[in-house]
Amino acid sequence: MATNDGSNGYTLVTGGAGFIGTNLVRRLAESGRDVVVLDNFSRAGVERNAQWLTSRLPKRVRVFRGDVRDAQGIAPWVRGAASVFHFAAQVAVTTSLTDPCADFETNARGTLNVLEAIRRHPSPPSLVFTSTNKVYGALPHVPLVKRATRYEPADPSLARSGIGEDQRLEFHSPYGCSKGAADQYVLDYARSFDLPSVVFRMSCIYGPHQCGNEDQGWLAHFVLSALEQSPLTLYGDGLQVRDALYVDDLVDALVAASARAPELAGRAFNIGGGPSNTTSLVEALDRISGLVGRLPPLEREAERVGDQKYYVSNTRLFERATGWAPKVRFADGLERLLEWLRENQTKDSEHAFVGNRSAADAVNV
């Protein structure tokens, strides 16, 4: 089995020009790893991330246009990899409701294509896959108490610990189904084919290089809306609670999981900021208003399909397995996000991207 120190090949990051990918690729490259980024550039802003990575780290990072839905196209990249991080995905519940088939092809079939390429590798590389808390559904069976600014679990022990991996799976929305199917395939390939694959079921992640919008990256979307004074739609009553994890802390967890993939193989971990880093939507808006000096114009709509009134990650399982724990407090991380967005929001993000190259003629861009 291939080692996870990069000595036998590069690290492959699918969706690597996205928010999480950019932060991980930077960390890996700065630590001396060679990284190949594969991205289909379907999300606004990722071209800018790709240019930032290759201009900052030209000797370590190569970026290529590719799509995990193309099984034949993904295979050559996996063959050269010592480790794989699979982030490429359709990320919005709303988009999955509009086009469930396209959502399935990217999230479920795309993940199966990556797994099959790894399975056929003579020395299978490790895989860390980013799943979602949406695999647990809307959690309607968790009794909640409605407070002035947030929902809280009626059970005090649940409020102290958060939602654990023993929570029953209950896929909700096509997005929940496609990511949930991918989640289960990754776990089963560890069981059935002895692949060193690990699943992260993630909560709210935020930080630099996040191209936040209404459907995904809500904290960045809230901050940008306040800075630009653009209308912000609040779905539901705004008391929904999430735990927020700063992206640097997530990168720490991803690196730890990849390094220990053989011993963690076949396990799913809930990853987020945990009970000490929670916020409701209205509480987040209040913090942002205090930092920016004003709220964005607010509009109200009914809550969306599959929305969880309360989701906070119990991260103790991963903490016990690796010693990892979040370091950045939510208040501090939000200030860092605001600072980054202030510095970057007015810069042109529509850079030209030179892509469409195959593994045979791979060069930096």
b/e for 102-124, b at 16 or more Cβ within 10 A? ebbbbbbbbbbbbbbbbeebeeb
Q: Which among 215, 240, 210 has a CA at the least distance from the CA of 98?
A: 215
3-class secondary structure, 93: helix
Write down the catalytic residue from 10, 136, 151, 175: 175
Q: Give, as one character, the DSSP assignment of residue 181.
A: H
> Is residue 151 annotated as part of the catalytic site, yes or no?
no
Provide the residue type at 362 as one letter: A
Q: Name every residue whose Cβ is closer than 8 Å to that of residue 259 and which is 6 or more positions away in sequence.
A: 4, 5
Q: How far apart are CA 266 and CA 181, in angstroms?
A: 14
Contact 332, 207 (CB under 8 A): no
Q: Name every residue whose Cβ is closer than 8 Å to that of residue 60 and which is 6 or more positions away in sequence.
A: 28, 29, 30, 32, 33, 34, 35
Q: Give the chain's count of helices (H) and strands (E).
A: 14, 15
**330 exposure class (CB count in 10 Å sphere: 0-12, 13-18, 19+):** buried
Structure-derived torsion over alpha carbons of residues 88, 94, 97, 102, reported in degrees to the nearest 10: -30
Contact 77, 50 (CB under 8 A): no
Chain center to CA of 191: 24
Catalytically active residues are 175
